[in-house]
Amino acid sequence: MLDYPALAALAAVVREGSFERAARTLHVTPSAISQRIRLLEERVGCALVVRDTPCRATETGRRLCQHVDHVQLLEHELQGTLPALASLARARVSLPIAVNADSLATWAAPAIARFAARQPVLIDIAVDDQDYTEEWLRTGAVLAAVTATARPAVGCNSRPLGAMRYVAAASPAFFESHFAQGVGAKTLATAPSLVFNAKDELQMRWAKRICHRHVELPRHTIPSPQAFVTAAVEGMGWGLHPQSLISHELKTGSLVELVPNTPYDVSLHWQHARAASGPLEGLSKEILAAAKASLLRS
């Protein structure tokens, strides 16, 4: 039988990032947290926490944290369905999910907020590129994710959401300065591009589609969808933006398409743990409805 107070301590340390903050959350001393985790590590025979700043889980630790999340969700649902338990205080449960930044900045955030406003949950959102959010599921760090991968992770279901349309755009002044002679491999190789982070390959993929070969792009790194748009409007570089996020800028002319009618569509999927609970199913319904209203049918 697993020691659930020890598992709760482990989950708190990983969630809060330190033994001290975990202790405050659970209303115990840091030494009590340390002792619980040490005994749990002795029982499973391996380290569960990398004691760093912030603390993070090992692979085994992540799987145990995922188990804790499942148990908390199931207990929460049970309290809501059994009359004998209905009078018990229903603590808010943690619901860890992973979402790509562009979805969060456009259609996903309102859906998540609507759900969280009605349910006694605490949403813990990890932001990563849509090509990498599936890894968060695979390691057990989250229970659900918006991902570009259709094939479900082990123990998960996958549902299509639709496609997010991106448009390559820049300010008129930037376009005149760098693309007066046309958009091609030569000009793209010298014009600064904008990327979200080192994992962001959208600009590279669009350039390859346009030029029919790989082009090494000079790039600025801007890890914020809104700042991405601002940087483009101010002439810092060109980039691929969610069309819905720059519709106003395209309409007013503060941004122009590099090559008209060359959108780049990214298919998205909602993957969630197969052993779904009521709260997770409720969040899934909100996500699917919002995607249906906002994304293209893929």
Q: Is the pLDDT of residue 72 over 80?
A: no
192-213 pLDDT, tens digit each: 999 999 999 999 999 999 999 9
pLDDT at position 276 is 59
- Cβ-based neighbours of 216, under 8 Å, separated by 6 or more: 189
* Mean pLDDT along residues 67-91: 64
Residue 57's closest CA among 150, 174, 141, 157? 141
- Quickly list DSSP for 83-143: GGGTTS----EEEEEEE-HHHIIIIIHHHHHHHHHHSSEEEEEEE--TTTHHHHHHTTS-S
Within its chain, how far is the Cα of 223 from the centroid?
13
pTM given for the model: 0.79
Does the pLDDT value for residue 90 go beyond 60?
no
- The pLDDT of residue 93: 78
Domain 164-265 top-level CATH class? alpha beta
Lowest mean pLDDT: which of 106-115, 165-174, 253-262, 266-275?
Answer: 266-275
**Averaged pLDDT score across all residues of the chain:** 90
Q: Is the model more confident about 76 or about 286?
A: 286
The pLDDT score that the predictor gives to residue 78 is: 64
Task: Please report, for the chain, the start and end positions of each structural domain, with discontinuous segments joined by +.
Answer: 164-265
